Structure 1
Amino acid sequence: MGGFAIGTTIYVVIEYIVKILAIGIVPENRRPSSSTAWLLLILFLPIVGVPLFLIIGSPYINARRARIQAQANDLLQQGTSNLPDVPESVDPPADLRGIVDLSRALTGLPMVTGTNHGVLMDYEASIRRMTELVEGASETVHVEIYIMARDGTTEPFFAALEAAVRRGVKVRVLLDHLGSRKYPGFHEFLKGMTAAGIEWHLMLPFLPLQGRMRRIDLRNHRKLLVVDGQVAVMGSQNLIDSAYGKPGNAKIGRRWNDISIELAGEIVSSLEAVFAVDWYSESGETVEMHAYRNADEDASGGSGLIPAPHGPRPQVGAAVNAVQLIPSGPGFRTDPNLRAFTSLMYMARERLAIVSPYFVPDESLMAAILTAAYRGVRVELYVSEEADQFVVDRAQSSYYYALLEAGVRIYRYPAPQVLHTKCFLVDETCAVLGSSNMDMRSFGLNYEISLLAYGGDIVTEVRDVIAEYRRLSAELDIDAWQGRSVLRRYTESVMRLTSALQ
C-alpha cells in the first residue's frame, strides 16, 4: 500500500472517530437546536466544524467566573435573608409570585421596592441625565456599560467622571473589551481614564499575548450606572453617539433608539451588587456595597435621590414600584432570564407586547409566544425593518411566517432607524426592560440585566413607550411576506442554522 493510500486511510479513520465522539460530546448540556447545528457542521464539514467547536463551542465561561458567580449567589441569599420574597405592601397573583420565587432562587435577589424617576426614550437626554447624576456624586460612581466611546455626545459624561475624581469621588468603570475596542480612539480613551485617576477594567478581555485566553464570543452586555448607592440608571443604551461613530450611519439617518430608566430605593442595592460581582471578577478587588434602602422616603420627596444641578427633573412623588432585578449570563448556568421570560409569557391572558432588536428565540421561548397567540392573547412583536446585522436580520426573519400564521402581529420600525430597545409587557400589569434581547446569545452567551416590574408607573411608562413604537411602525402583512424571493428564504434558513451555533 502506497503512502498516499495509507494517509487517506488514516484520515478516514480519524474523521469517523471525530464524528462518533461528536455525537456523544456535542449534545451534552446543550439545547437541541444548538446540538443539531453543531453536529451538522461537524459531520458535513469536520475541517471547519471541529476547530470552530473547540474555539466557541463551550457554552460556559471559565471555571473561575462560574465559581465567583455561585459564591456571589450564596452571599446574596445570606445578605438579603432578612428581606421577604416580595415587599410586604405588595400582593402579587400566585403565578407571578412563583416567577419571583424562581428568579430569587436562581440569582439570590428578591423583589424589592423601587422609585421610578423616569423612563427616557430620548437618546441624548438619557446621557445628559447620567452626566447630571455624576455631577452630583459625593462618594462613588460605578459605571458598567457594554460599549463605551469618547465622542461628541459622551464627552460631557466622561468630563463629569474626571471632575468627580478631582473632588475625591471613587470612580470605577467596566467596559466590554471586544464590544468597545472596534470604535475610534479606544486606546487613547483608556489612557485618558488612567491619567484622570479613573479606575477601569475590561470585561471579558481577550488578550492572548498576556495569557488571558477564553471563548471569544462571550460578552458582558450589561448597561448600568450607580451613584453613591442611592440612584441608578439601567436600560438598553450604550455610551456612544446614536450613529455608533460611523459617518455613513449619520449620513443616511441611521441612529439607534433605546430606553433607559432612573431608579432609587432598595433596587439600587441590587444593581450595585451586580456591579460588585463583575468588578471582583475582573479585578479581584472587593467593592463595599451600600445597604438596601427603602424607597418610601424618596417617594415622598426625601433625600434618597441626588438632586440634579440643572435640567428637567422627574416629578416629585413618583409611585413606589415592586421590582426585581434579574441578572443572567453564562456564569449562572441556569438561564435566569429565559426561565423568567417564558414563565411571564405563559402568564399572559390578554396582551403580550415584545420589543426586541434581535429576535432569534430558542424552542422554549417560541413555544411560549405561539401558545399565547393560539389561546387568544393579543401578541405583538416590534422589530426593526432592517436589523443592523445581516445574519440577525435573516435569522429573525425566518421566524416571521410561523408567528404571523399563529396570529402574532409584527410591527417593523422603519429603516434606516434601528430599534434597539429591549422590553416587554404582560397584560399591562407586568413589564420587563433592560439589556437582554429575545435571542439565544442573550440567553446563553451574554451577561445581561433585566428589571421585572409589577404594577406602578414603570408598567404604565413601558406601555406608553410601546404605543409610540406602534405609532411609528408598519405592520407586516402575511400575504406580502409570503411573496419574498426564494433567495431571501434560502439565506434566512442558512442564517437561522448559523445562529444556533452556541
Structure 2
Amino acid sequence: MLEWLTWSAAWATFVVVIDMTIRITAIMFVPPGRRPTSAMAWLLLIFFLPVPGVLLFLLIGNPRLPKKRREVQSEVNSFLHAANDSLELGTLLPNPPEWFESIVDMNRKLGALPLSGDNGARLISDYHESIRAMTEAVRGAQRYVHVEFYILKADAATEDFFVAMEEAIARGVPVRVLMDHWANLSKPLHRQTKERLTRMGADWHLLLPLQPLARKFQRPDLRNHRKLLIVDGDVAFLGSQNLTDPSYNVPKNIRRGLQWVDLMVRLDGPVVRSVDAVFLTDYYSETNEVPDGIDLAEVTAGSDDYDCQVVPSGPGFESENNLQLFLSLLYAAQERAIMVSPYFVPDEALLRAVSGAAARGVQVDLFVSETSDQAIVYHAQRSYYETLLRAGVNIWQYRAPFILHTKSLSIDDETAVIGSSNMDMRSFGLNFEASLLVRGREFVDELRDVEELYRQNSTLLTLEEWLKQPLRSRALDNLARLTSALQ
C-alpha cells in the first residue's frame, strides 16, 4: 500500500512539473512576434489543453516559411526591387489626393512594385463570362501563357480553357501553370487535372507542396491564394475567381445549391508586367528557374489611362502588405468606403479603422454572404457583427445559396482595390495574395455598378434583428472567433 502511494505521489509530481514546464515555456515562446489576440488564443489553448495545445502549436504555430524557402523568398524580393525601374511606366493621372502618393510609396516599399499609368482595366462580374474572356486571351497567345490559380480544375466549366491551352502548346507556345497543392488536393478532379496538364505538355508545378519525402514541407495551412493569368505580357487577369466550376465540384456544395459569385479584372498596358513579375517570383520559388525569353521592360500601350499598382503579400514578406493597404485607405476615406469580403475576420487594427471611418461620418458598407461553406470562419465573422452595427456600419448579406466571393475595397470616387485577399487574419498572415490598387474615376464607377448589383441581391442586417440571435448561436460565434485567432 505504501509503495503504491509513493508511486502515485511521484507520478502526480511528474505530471505537475511537466504541466508547469509547458505553461512557463509557452509564456516565453508564444507571444514574441505575434499579435496579442493570437498570442492570447494560443496561451488559452495550451493552458486548458497542454499536450494537444503544444502539438497543434508545433504543427501550425509558426507562420514563417522554412529557412530554405525564406532564402528563396529573399532572392525573389531582391528581384522585384531590381525590376522596379523597368516597371514604372506610363503617364500618371494628374492631381492625386494628398494621401494617395504616400500610400503608393508605402506599397512600393512593402511589396516592391511601382505605380504605372496608361493602363486599361475592365471588370468582369459574370463567372462564366470571365472564363470565356480568359479562354479567348489564351487562344490568341503567340509567345507564352502564364496560369496561376489557387484552385485549378479540368471540369465542364473550364473545358474550353483547357482546350485553348492544348491548342497554344500545339502552336509551340509555352504554357506554364501553377496551382496551390493543398487546396487542389482537397477538391475533386485533382488527379484528372494533373494528368491532363501532363498530357498536353504544360510546364506545371504545385505551389507550397506538402511532400515530406521530397523534402518539401512547411506549415501545412500556408496557402498560395493568388489568381492570375498573363498572356504574352500584353494582357492579364487578376481577381477573386478560381478556375473551376462555380460549385467547386464539391458534392455537399452541389447538394446545398451553392454557387460562387466572383469578380475579375482584365488588364492591359504597363501593369501587366507587374502581374507577370508576381507570377515569375512564384515560379522561381518552386523551380529555382527563370523562364527564357521574357523581358519585363518590354510593354505595350494600354487601352485606357488608369493608374495601377500590384501589391503582393504573404508570409514571405516582413509586413502584412495587404492589411497595411486596407488600413491606409480606410483612414484616408472621406465620404464612403465599400468593402466586399466573403470572410471578414478583422484584427484589432482593421476593426478600429472600420469603426473609426464610420465615426468620422464616412458611409461604410460591408458585403458578406448570408451563408458560407466554411463553418468556423462563418461563425467567427458573425462574432463581429454587433460591434460593427453599433459603430454604424451597414452590413449587407448576399442571399443564399450564393457565396459572394469577391474581394474589393472602394473609397470615395476614384480609388479601389480588387484582388484575391479576404479581410481576415488568414489572408493577412498566412496566404500569398495579390491585390491591385486602381486610381480612376470611371473604373470606380464601374465597380459601383457591381456593388449596386450586390446590394439588390442582399438584405440589410439591422442591430435590432441581430440582437435576437439565440444565446447558443452567440456562444458558437465567440468560440469560433477565439479559434480564428490561432495564427
TM-score, structure 1 as length reference: 0.93
Relative to 1, partners in 2 of residues 1:187 and 1:112: Cα closer, same or farther, differing over 3 Å?
A: same
Contact 1:87 1:111 in 2 (8 A): no
2:289 aligned partner = 285
Contact 2:153 2:189 in 1 (8 A): yes
Contact 1:114 1:263 in 2 (8 A): no
Contact 1:328 1:335 in 2 (8 A): yes
Amino acid at match of 1:347: A
1:482 aligned partner = 467
1:269 aligned partner = 273
Task: Note the C-alpha offset of 1:254.
Answer: 1.7
Deviation string 1:468-498 (CA, Å, 9 cap, x unpaired) is 1111110001101000000000000000000
Contact 2:147 2:178 in 1 (8 A): yes
Contact 2:233 2:299 in 1 (8 A): no
Q: Structure 1 unaligned segments of length 5 or more: list them.
A: 300-318
2:179 aligned partner = 175
**1:348 is aligned to 2:352:** no
**1:443 is aligned to 2:447:** no
2:32 aligned partner = 28
Amino acid at match of 1:52: L
**1:357 is aligned to 2:362:** no
1:116 aligned partner = 120
1:416 aligned partner = 401
Deviation string 1:344-397 (CA, Å, 9 cap, x unpaired) is 100001001000000000011111000000111000000001122111111000
Equivalent residue of 1:214, what SS? coil
1:61 aligned partner = 65
Q: Distance in 2 between matches of 1:459 and 1:436?
A: 18
Amino acid at match of 1:334: S
Task: Note the C-alpha offset of 1:90.
Answer: 3.7
Task: Note the C-alpha offset of 1:458.
Answer: 2.3
1:371 aligned partner = 356
**1:454 is aligned to 2:464:** no
Amino acid at match of 1:291: L
**1:396 is aligned to 2:360:** no
Q: Distance in 1 between matches of 2:167 and 2:268?
A: 23
Amino acid at match of 1:426: I
Q: Distance in 2 between matches of 1:222 and 1:93?
A: 29
1:334 aligned partner = 319
Task: Note the C-alpha offset of 1:65.
Answer: 2.5
Identity of matched residues, %: 47
Task: Note the C-alpha offset of 1:184.
Answer: 2.2
Q: Distance in 2 between matches of 1:244 and 1:354?
A: 24
1:193 aligned partner = 197
Amino acid at match of 1:358: Y
Contact 1:141 1:170 in 2 (8 A): yes
Contact 1:116 1:458 in 2 (8 A): no
Q: Distance in 1 between matches of 2:371 and 2:297?
A: 42
Task: Note the C-alpha offset of 1:409.
Answer: 0.5
2:263 aligned partner = 259
Contact 1:320 1:456 in 2 (8 A): no
Contact 2:89 2:270 in 1 (8 A): no
Task: Note the C-alpha offset of 1:189.
Answer: 1.7
Task: Note the C-alpha offset of 1:87.
Answer: 4.5
Q: Distance in 1 between matches of 2:475 and 2:198?
A: 49
**1:431 is aligned to 2:436:** no
Q: Provide runs of 4+ in structure 1 moved above 6 Å.
A: none
2:154 aligned partner = 150
Amino acid at match of 1:394: H
2:105 aligned partner = 101
Deviation string 1:295-334 (CA, Å, 9 cap, x unpaired) is 6x342xxxxxxxxxxxxxxxxxxx3200110000000021
1:312 aligned partner = none
Q: Distance in 2 between matches of 1:84 and 1:264?
A: 15
Task: Note the C-alpha offset of 1:86.
Answer: 8.9
Q: Structure 2 unaligned segments of length 5 or more: list them.
A: none
TM-score, structure 2 as length reference: 0.96
Contact 1:85 1:100 in 2 (8 A): no
Contact 1:223 1:238 in 2 (8 A): yes
Amino acid at match of 1:227: V
Equivalent residue of 2:34, what SS? coil
Task: Note the C-alpha offset of 1:94.
Answer: 2.4
Contact 2:408 2:418 in 1 (8 A): yes
Q: Distance in 1 between matches of 2:19 and 2:127?
A: 53
**1:207 is aligned to 2:176:** no
Contact 2:395 2:460 in 1 (8 A): yes
Equivalent residue of 2:85, what SS? coil
Query: Which stretch of structure 1 is more off in the superposition, 180-189 or 24-33?
Result: 180-189
Deviation string 1:439-480 (CA, Å, 9 cap, x unpaired) is 000000000000001124322221111111111110001101
Q: Distance in 1 between matches of 2:188 and 2:442?
A: 39
Q: Distance in 2 between matches of 1:145 and 1:290?
A: 23
Q: Distance in 2 between matches of 1:467 and 1:130?
A: 25
Contact 1:321 1:455 in 2 (8 A): yes
Q: Distance in 1 between matches of 2:91 and 2:354?
A: 29
Task: Note the C-alpha offset of 1:167.
Answer: 0.8
**1:501 is aligned to 2:486:** yes
Contact 2:92 2:118 in 1 (8 A): no
Amino acid at match of 2:97: P
**Which of 435, 453, 456 does residue 471 from structure 1 map onto?**
456
Contact 2:253 2:373 in 1 (8 A): no
**Which of 37, 42, 45 does residue 41 from structure 1 map onto?**
45
1:133 aligned partner = 137
Contact 1:428 1:463 in 2 (8 A): no
Q: Distance in 2 between matches of 1:326 and 1:22?
A: 35
Deviation string 1:173-223 (CA, Å, 9 cap, x unpaired) is 000011011222211221221121101110011122333221101000000
